[in-house]
């Protein structure tokens, strides 16, 4: 028996082998929730080498893991740049389970093409980051909240934001803007949904050891003549040295806070943006 027995959680961007979405699916399932997971079908060039090596199959693989925990798992492919697909994702998940109690807005645009000074930032990259990181959060919230209101049993919406929601770094204009906006969206939707006992909170990780494909890291590794794996290991080690608690986060560190915010114990918390960063940022 878990504290999320009988609940259903929909998690976007949950197909990555080392992603925060997968960690959330496993954590919420381990606490008793049934899971609906979504992701978009990546082209092979956009898959991390270790996923190819492990013959990882995105949400199909995650679903098998969730089911191995004894929970149900519904899979739905959805490109979050397309509003119609988002509406369809929500209605299929609601159709399958009858209700959604927890929404985790986790997906983000693949990092890398945005890592340029603003004078070099292509408008299509800017638009893509805003579409996936911000507009899709608004649309998923809108459709899921409507269904939660209809059921009348309250709900939990958890937006995975970032330390980039609170502090900019150079060459991140698109990402930073898209993630600052998520905090505004979290506060505004928390106020709109409070009368329906639906809480909306954001989780703001610092660096996380997610090992995802990143176009910028791929290019850097090539320039330095090292494998992507080696380059990633260096980044993780170097970034860890700058964290007061001595390491960067694991996806599970983030999932634990998500599980708390999804629980009954967090019923009186809404509109907040909590850091999971080992002490690197305090506001």
Size of the site for ligand NAD (CB under 6 A): 26
Q: Which of 3, 30, 32, 42 binds ligand NAD (CB under 6 A)?
A: 42
CA atoms within 13 A on the CB side of 73: 26
* Residue with smaller CB distance to ligand NAD, 16 or 278: 16
Residue 265 CB: number of other CB atoms within 10 A? 10
Kindly state whether residue 232 participates in binding ligand NAD, applying the rule CB under 6 A. no
* Residue with smaller CB distance to ligand NAD, 103 or 208: 208
Kindly state whether residue 278 participates in binding ligand NAD, applying the rule CB under 6 A. no
* Residue with smaller CB distance to ligand NAD, 3 or 81: 81
Q: Give me the 61-90 binding string for ligand NAD, x by CB under 6 A, dash otherwise.
A: -----------------xxxx---------
Q: Rounded to whole angstroms, how far apart are CA atoms 157 and 275?
A: 16
Which contiguous run of DSSP H or E holds residue 210? none
* Residue with smaller CB distance to ligand NAD, 83 or 149: 83
Tell me how far, at minimum, the Cβ of 55 lies from ligand NAD, in Å. 17
Q: How far is CA 138 from CA 26, 194, 224, in A?
A: 25, 16, 40
* Residue with smaller CB distance to ligand NAD, 145 or 258: 258
Kindly state whether residue 103 participates in binding ligand NAD, applying the rule CB under 6 A. no
Q: Rounded to whole angstroms, how far apart are CA atoms 260 and 283?
A: 20
Residue 179 annotated among the catalytic residues of the structure: yes
Torsion of CA 38, 262, 201, 21, to 10 degrees: -30
* DSSP string covering 189-207: HHHHHGGGTEEEEEEEE-S
Contact region with ligand NAD (CB under 6 A), list: 10-18, 28-36, 140-148, 222-230: 10-18
Q: Rounded to whole angstroms, how far apart are CA atoms 237 and 248?
A: 8
Kindly state whether residue 110 participates in binding ligand NAD, applying the rule CB under 6 A. yes
Residue 5 CB: number of other CB atoms within 10 A? 11
Residue 98 phi/psi, 5° resolution? 95, -20
Q: Which of 160, 181, 259, 262 binds ligand NAD (CB under 6 A)?
A: 160
- Binding positions for ligand NAD, 184-223, rule CB under 6 A: 205, 207-208, 210, 212
Burial class from Cβ neighbours inside 10 Å (0-12, 13-18, 19+) for residue 283 reads exposed
Kindly state whether residue 107 participates in binding ligand NAD, applying the rule CB under 6 A. yes
Binding interface with ligand NAD (CB under 6 A): 13, 15-16, 19-21, 39-40, 42, 78-81, 106-110, 132, 160, 162, 205, 207-208, 210, 212
| Residues with catalytic function | 175, 179
């Amino acid at each position: 028996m878990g504290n999320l027995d009988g609940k259903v959680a929909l998690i976007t961007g949950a197909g990555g082998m080392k992603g925060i979405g997968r960690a959330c699916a496993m954590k919420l399932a381990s606490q008793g929730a049934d899971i609906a997971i979504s992701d978009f079908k990546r082209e092979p060039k956009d898959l991390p080498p270790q996923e190819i090596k492990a013959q990882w199959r995105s949400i199909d693989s995650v679903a098998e893991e969730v089911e191995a925990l004894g929970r149900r798992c519904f899979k739905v492919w959805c490109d979050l740049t397309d509003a119609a697909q988002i509406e369809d994702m929500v209605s299929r998940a609601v159709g399958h389970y009858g209700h959604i109690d927890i929404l985790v807005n986790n997906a983000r645009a693949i990092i890398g093409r945005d890592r340029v000074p603003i004078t070099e930032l292509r408008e299509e990259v800017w638009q893509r980051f805003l579409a996936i990181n911000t507009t899709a959060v608004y649309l998923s919230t809108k459709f899921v909240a409507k269904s939660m209101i209809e059921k009348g049993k309250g709900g939990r919406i958890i937006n995975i934001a970032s330390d980039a929601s609170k502090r900019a770094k150079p060459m991140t204009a698109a990402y930073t803007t898209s993630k600052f906006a998520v905090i505004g969206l979290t506060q505004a939707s928390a106020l709109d949904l409070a009368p329906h006992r639906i809480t909306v909170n954001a989780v703001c990780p610092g660096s996380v050891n997610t090992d995802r494909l990143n176009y910028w890291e791929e290019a850097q590794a090539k320039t330095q003549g090292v494998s992507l794996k080696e380059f990633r290991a260096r980044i993780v080690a170097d970034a860890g040295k700058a964290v007061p608690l001595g390491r960067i986060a694991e996806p599970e560190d983030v999932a634990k806070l998500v599980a708390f915010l999804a629980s009954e114990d967090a019923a009186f918390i809404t509109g907040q943006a909590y850091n999971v960063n080992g002490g690197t940022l305090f506001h």
